[in-house]
Structure 1
């Protein structure tokens, strides 16, 4: 027991260290974790200390823990299998997926036939050939998803198409692998008939178990949290499903995958998110690193000779060439541009976690020998490590930024309406006063449109169990729900309102891009939002800022006070905003700031506006020209392209509508 605990300490420390090093080098952590296992195994440290620490008596308990981690991982893969990824891209995604699967699969089968005599016996030839084809055709959806989200490419057409294609490839790969494992299991002398139960098992899972699991959603909503009882039911079902497929001589990973696939989707975003959060603590920190390190421990590069290097070269040529050519050719048949087709092919060439899972199954089922397993693991590392640099070379950051801007402009469209973009800070549910103020400003012009923009930093400690997309999409769905509620209140007041929300790796850096892409006539920014200074001082907006603090008296529910404007500098933009709010809220207007302020008050009074030159009372909502200092409140920035002309106050007053509901 003491040696097992020591092994756990060493494995965890090595996994975290090399995983962090891989991330620092811009690679997925799984690469570092597998390399850690290779270094701890017979390749490097085995002759020194590895045989004592990770000898034959220690491998079974380590492998058992690794298998539990594999069960959790495959459950998450099934849980994150979302048909929304393919929606709207079905024809192209299926075509690219078929090209990316069929070509490397056929080439892998041809290669397997050429080397079968050196690695397998006659009774294993068929499953070996099919297995090599499946291994060559795999694409690691989780690693691909993380590569895309780290660069923000999931927001552009290319990224969405890559995710959709990889999702289809995932289904094809697991289906082929299930057939291969079933054929291999049928060759066993005992219990061959059990494999025939695989199809009835799948039907029961989707027709019986899936409706039963849907009852978890109302139970979760009633409890308002993931109770130990609910989590226990999920884990019991997961482990039971994994046991059932293992008993059928298929493999326990398929039971875990299918159980994740039949978990409820409709209205279950928060439930699934909490399940993943609970699993993360155990799976990410202990069991998954254990799985990848154990996978590396089974690699022995010391025994490779020149003939092995030749086989490795052939494997790399088939794996990389088959993926790139198959994906590229399929993309071109769908009229994708040349650069996008190559970038898509490079993205689908990543194998990572999925490949290691497939290879582990092959080793456990005796389809692969130790030498070929080691060579295939090297192929998985090479194809995964080359993806990021190759895609960055083919599709550099400037093209990604351009595509993101074009996507946002296309989403917002071109309109002749007076457009106001308001950046909604977190939490959106508490920003009703801000949106109400913006809607009031929009109602002063007709036609007008309000765009609720929201940039949210990526969640801290993002999930690494699978792609991590379920966690992020759950949070984004909750945010969109709150934003749509705000948009609904604006629409009730007669203002056309749209919502633009996304996660951002750099909120301050992307805010100017969002402001420019929206092409708004007015930008409303709460003070303290990251990137405010860059927008104010940059070319997007001129340095004319209106400061609108909401008084404490109004927040406490007392009678709203007047609108006050500091007009000492003669700032027409500030005066126009103050006049708009005063008229639409049916409040008096107070002007302060010296002789120019008095003159403005007299002029407005002649136009029928209740305006007086006086000191600002405490309960007033103050509008003032900002000199660049940031304080608590709301700031409105006027775009450079539309600098305001001197205000025609008579026209401004006559254009104002009837009083709107008070803020």
Structure 2
């Protein structure tokens, strides 16, 4: 017999959804007013109404709303998980394979160094200082070290797009390079994370090779045959059913099928949704107008439930460890800025342009939160590390825009300065010009 929610549980489910959505959207819009990504406000909303603040100040009220009916909260948790699956589908749709190929050479050096340097530094820090950071002696350091390196190497594509739009440089050379490099980062980062999850679930060396192979085969299938199949499906829907609503429905169904496929294979469902998003985004039938319609619904209604739920799952006050936060923040910023900066210089950009790109690439966002939550649920990291990752994400979001603007303005001033100096030299070389003007 199928068990369903009773009337009281449905009531509490609706109460939870209403409270979380209102708080998340309200604080998200406040952040938008201050030209910050709404995800910052949505996470803060969860911290405020979660165990960190509301649970500490009014424990009875918090228990009555969120804990007293576990099945009601379980239903909300399921809805939040659907939200993150759809969010990763949208993130995948933003990865433009054609743009990667067009700007691949210059962006590749930025992306490669922006991934390789943070990955290496994060891996080595956990490998040698695992017991200090985790506060738990362990001989198994490979998986946590791989995760930490991956978490530090991913750039948040959705966040950087918002920053570039705010600075009005999204269509410039710098904007294009940052977006393309971020796409490559996202693509490679999620492949790495899926391999890590597979390694953690694998038993023995043979199983590990099989798991890695399965991830790579799935990726290869989705960017070749799978992409072609998705395009054929969307073409059929467009021709025989027609209308944006039909394409939107087909895209949502494909998103869920991608998540089902990877969950069945033992890979996280969010990775399947991400890869399906890449395949759909590459199809001309999944037009920008339909993507925008889908994105507005996900970003405004469904995704905030997930980001607010982050604050509901973890007590940020009880698990806040300043030393861990500073270590994660320091390592992540130094690694990404140095790595992306070196990659930019290798790509032929000057010092100020390289620093602007480096601080842009340093912006983390929804992908890090999703990845951190998955790692927390998988037991790779503990609550202290997760809190450190969330704080790092929010700090890098807040500083990325102002620092990009500072270095781009500095670069513009320095490019104008030589022209002025040249004019002075000419005037000194030809004093008769000065005399004639007097």
TM-score normalized with structure 2 length: 0.82
What's the offset of the Cα at 1:200? 4.2
- Cα deviation code 1:603-657 (max 9, x no counterpart): xxxxxxxxxxxxxxxxxxxxxxxxxxxxxxxxxxxxxxxxxxxxxxxxxxxxxxx
Output the CA distance in 1 between the equivalents of 2:244 and 2:210.
36
- Cα deviation code 1:272-295 (max 9, x no counterpart): 5325514633x2333100010011
Aligned match of 2:259 in 242, 248, 260?
242
What's the offset of the Cα at 1:267? 3.3
Aligned match of 1:73 in 56, 68, 87?
87
Quick check: 1:157 aligned with 2:173? yes
Output the CA distance in 1 between the equivalents of 2:210 and 2:17.
36
Structure 2 residue ranges without an equivalent (≥5): 1-9, 417-438
Name the SS for the 2:280 alignment partner. Answer: coil
Output the CA distance in 2 between the equivalents of 1:393 and 1:279.
31
Call closer, same or farther: CA 1:153–1:207 in 2, change over 3 Å: closer
Output the CA distance in 1 between the equivalents of 2:52 and 2:280.
41
Alpha-carbon RMSD: 2.8
Match in the other structure for 1:54: 66
Output the CA distance in 2 between the equivalents of 1:99 and 1:279.
30
Aligned match of 1:94 in 90, 105, 108?
108
Do 2:122 and 2:152's aligned partners in 1 also have CA atoms closer than 8 Å?
yes
Quick check: 1:360 aligned with 2:368? no
Structure 1 residue ranges without an equivalent (≥5): 404-663
Output the CA distance in 1 between the equivalents of 2:281 and 2:360.
30
What's the offset of the Cα at 1:50? 2.8
Q: How does 1:313-328 map to 2 (within 5 A)?
A: 313-328=326-341
Match in the other structure for 1:343: 356
Name the SS for the 2:170 alignment partner. Answer: helix
- Cα deviation code 1:113-147 (max 9, x no counterpart): 24433356747522111000111111101110111
Aligned match of 2:318 in 289, 296, 303?
303
Output the CA distance in 1 between the equivalents of 2:222 and 2:153.
27
What's the offset of the Cα at 1:87? 4.4
Call closer, same or farther: CA 1:88–1:242 in 2, change over 3 Å: closer
Do 1:141 and 1:167's aligned partners in 2 also have CA atoms closer than 8 Å?
yes
Output the CA distance in 2 between the equivalents of 1:155 and 1:86.
15
Match in the other structure for 1:262: 279
Output the CA distance in 1 between the equivalents of 2:223 and 2:340.
32
- Cα deviation code 1:355-388 (max 9, x no counterpart): 1111111112111111211111111111111111
Call closer, same or farther: CA 1:332–1:264 in 2, change over 3 Å: closer
Do 1:99 and 1:330's aligned partners in 2 also have CA atoms closer than 8 Å?
yes
Structure with greater Cα Rg: 1
Aligned match of 1:140 in 135, 152, 156?
156
Call closer, same or farther: CA 1:375–1:50 in 2, change over 3 Å: farther
Aligned match of 2:29 in 13, 20, 40?
20
What's the offset of the Cα at 1:69? 0.7
Quick check: 1:106 aligned with 2:120? yes
- Cα deviation code 1:445-467 (max 9, x no counterpart): xxxxxxxxxxxxxxxxxxxxxxx
Q: How does 1:577-616 map to 2 (within 5 A)?
A: none
Call closer, same or farther: CA 1:17–1:378 in 2, change over 3 Å: same
Residue correspondences, number:
395
Output the CA distance in 2 between the equivalents of 1:231 and 1:23.
27
Q: How does 1:91-240 map to 2 (within 5 A)?
A: 91-117=105-131, 118=134, 122=138, 125-187=141-203, 195=211, 197-215=214-232, 216-217=234-235, 219-221=237-239, 223-228=241-246, 230-240=247-257
Match in the other structure for 2:420: none
What's the offset of the Cα at 1:335? 2.8
Quick check: 1:32 aligned with 2:41? yes
What's the offset of the Cα at 1:226? 2.9
Structure with bigger RCO (C-alpha 8 Å, 6+ apart):
2
- Cα deviation code 1:84-108 (max 9, x no counterpart): 3334432221111111111111111
Output the CA distance in 2 between the equivalents of 1:81 and 1:142.
10
Output the CA distance in 1 between the equivalents of 2:345 and 2:87.
34
Do 2:96 and 2:281's aligned partners in 1 also have CA atoms closer than 8 Å?
no
Output the CA distance in 1 between the equivalents of 2:223 and 2:185.
21
Output the CA distance in 1 between the equivalents of 2:129 and 2:64.
34
Quick check: 1:285 aligned with 2:312? no
Name the SS for the 2:141 alignment partner. Answer: helix
- Cα deviation code 1:282-336 (max 9, x no counterpart): x23331000100112233232247xx21121111110111111111122122331
Match in the other structure for 1:628: none
- Cα deviation code 1:548-586 (max 9, x no counterpart): xxxxxxxxxxxxxxxxxxxxxxxxxxxxxxxxxxxxxxx
Aligned match of 1:394 in 407, 410, 414?
407
Q: Which has the larger share of helix?
A: 2
Output the CA distance in 2 between the equivalents of 1:201 and 1:255.
9
Do 1:352 and 1:380's aligned partners in 2 also have CA atoms closer than 8 Å?
yes
Output the CA distance in 1 between the equivalents of 2:26 and 2:336.
31
Call closer, same or farther: CA 1:321–1:59 in 2, change over 3 Å: farther
Do 1:27 and 1:385's aligned partners in 2 also have CA atoms closer than 8 Å?
yes
